[in-house]
Amino acid sequence: MADAIVAEGLSKTFNGSLKAVDTVSFSVKEGEVFGFLGPNGAGKTTTLSMLTAILGPTAGRATVDGLDVVRHPHELKQRIGLVFQESTADPDLTGRENLEMAAALFGVPLRDTARRVNELLERLALVDSADRLVKTYSGGMRRRLELAVGMIHSPRVLFLDEPTLGLDPQGRAGFWKIVSDLRKETGMTVFLTTHYLDEADTVCERVAIIDHGHIVATGTPSELKDRLGGDIVTVRPMGNLEALAPALKGLPGVTSVTVQDGTLRVKCPSGDTLIPKVVGAATDRGISLAGVSLRRPSLDEVFLEFTGREFREDEGPSATDHAVQLNRIQSARRGRR
C-alpha cells in the first residue's frame, strides 16, 4: 500500500529560537487511521499545520497524497479535508448554508451540491436542524457540522485536529463512530491529533507519540502496549526505596523495576498474582507500604514509559501560545528601548 503522508525531518522554529517541532519523520499508509498523540505544547497542531500548508516548515519536507506541501499548497487544499479544534462554521448562517458555501469553496460541482449536502446532513444526524442558524447548535452538533464541512468534497486525506475537544464521552463516541463508518466507505486516510489517549487507543490503527517536538514512539496501539512487557504494579514504600527495589527484582515473573518519583514501577506478565508477593517482600524487610496499585497496559502507560512523565502532568500552553508570548515579550522590550 502506498504512503498517503510522508514527513522527513520536518522542523518548525518560531521566532528563531522556539523549536516547536524538531526533525520529525513518519509515514502514514493510504486508508490508515493515524493518531498523533501528545500533551498540549508537544507539537501536534504545529505538525498538522505544516502538513496542511497552513504553516511553512523551517526544515525538512513533507508530501500529502503525493503533493509537496510547500510547492503545491493550492492543489493540496483541494485534496484534503480539515476539521479544526474550534468551530469555524459561520454562526449567522444555517447548517445547510454553511455546507453549500463549503461546497462552492472546495469546488463540488453545482449539480452535485444539493445531493452531497443532503447526504452529509443525513449521515451526521443534522437533517432536523439543517435550516436553523448555527449559533443555536449545541457543541456536539457544531462538531458534527465541522466534520461535514471537512468531508464535503470527499477528500482523500482527512485531518482532524483535536476534533472531540470539549465533547462529553457520549458525544465523542458518536463522533468517532461516524468517522469510522465514513472511512470504511470511502477508504480515505485519517490523520488525527488528540490528547485523549483512550480514544486514540480505540480509533487509531497506528499512533506516534510526540513530546517536546520529538517523536518518541511509533506503532500500533497493541505494539506499543506490548513493549511495556505486561502489567505495571506501582509500589509506594514509606521510605527505604533502594532496599526494596532489589527484592522486587528477584520476585518470579518480574521483568523490570524502575524508580520514578518516589515509587517503584514493577513490570510483570500478571499483576494480580504479583501484588501479594510484593506486599510479602516488603513485610519481610520491615518496610511499610503507603500504597500498591495495578495498571493494565494503556497508552497512558506507554507515554510514561517513553517520556518518563505522567501524560497529564505536562499539559501546558501550545507552541503557538509560546510563540505569541515570546512575541509580546520581544515587542515590550523593543518598546522600552
Given candidates 90, 112, 198, 321, which one binds another protein under the rule CB under 8 A?
Answer: 90
Contact region with another protein (CB under 8 A), list: 22-30, 74-82, 179-187, 292-300: 74-82
101 binds another protein (CB under 8 A): yes
Residues 110-129 that bind another protein (CB under 8 A): 110
> Which of 102, 167, 216, 235: binder of another protein (CB under 8 A)?
102
Listed ranges 21-29, 78-86, 217-225, 253-261: which one lies at the site for another protein (CB under 8 A): 78-86
Q: Helices 241-249 & 271-284, crossing angle to 10 degrees?
A: 130
Task: Give the strand pairing for 33-37 and 206-211.
Answer: parallel
Please say whether the beta carbons of 24 and 193 come within 8 A. Answer: no
| Minimal distance, residue 110 CB to another protein, in Å | 7
Q: For residue 133, what is its C-alpha cell?
A: 442558524
Comparison of 135 and 177: residue with beta carbon closer to another protein = 135
- Residue 266 DSSP one-character state: E
Please list, in sequence order, all residues whose beta carbon lies within 8 angstroms of the beta carbon of residue 303, skipping any fewer than 6 positions away.
37, 197, 209, 211, 309, 310, 311
CB atoms within 10 A of CB 4: 23
Residue 55 engages another protein in binding (rule: CB under 8 A) = yes
Residue 78 within binding range of another protein, rule CB under 8 A: yes
How many chain residues bind another protein (CB under 8 A)? Answer: 30
* Stretch of 88-96, 220-228, 247-255, 264-272 lying at the interface with another protein (CB under 8 A): 88-96
Give per-residue burial for 180-217: e unless 16+ CB within 10 Å, then b. eebbeeeebbbbbbbbbbebbbebbebbbbbbbbbbbb
Q: Which of 87, 154, 218, 263 binds another protein (CB under 8 A)?
A: 87
Q: Is 100 in the site for another protein (CB under 8 A)?
A: yes
Residue with Cβ nearer another protein (76 or 217)? 76
Residue numbers 178-207 binding another protein by CB under 8 A: none
Q: At 67, is the secondary structure helix, strand, or coil?
A: strand
Contact 248, 264 (CB under 8 A): yes
Residues 2-31 binding another protein (CB under 8 A) are none
- Closest contact distance (angstroms) between CB of 17 and another protein is 15
Residue 149 lies near another protein (rule: CB under 8 A): yes
List CB contacts of 217: < 8 A, sequence separation 6 or more: 208, 209, 224, 227, 302, 306
**For another protein, which is the closer residue by CB, 1 or 110?**
110
Q: Is 131 in the site for another protein (CB under 8 A)?
A: no
| Distance linking the first and last C-alpha atoms of the chain | 58
Choosing from 105, 114, 125, 238, the residue that interacts with another protein (CB under 8 A) is: 105
Nearest to 77 by CA among 86, 67, 87: 67
Euclidean distance between CA atoms 204 and 279, whole angstroms = 38
The DSSP result for 176-242, as a single string, is: HHHHHHHHHHH--EEEEEES-HHHHHHH-SEEEEEETTEEEEEE-HHHHHHTTTSEEEEEEESS-HH
The reply to whether 137 sits near another protein by the rule CB under 8 A is: no
* Beta carbon of residue 101, minimum distance to another protein (angstroms, whole number): 5
Query: Given candidates 9, 15, 56, 279, which one binds another protein under the rule CB under 8 A?
Result: 56
The residues of the shown chain that bind another protein, judged by CB under 8 A, are: 52-56, 73-74, 77-78, 82, 84, 86-93, 97, 100-102, 104-107, 110, 133, 149
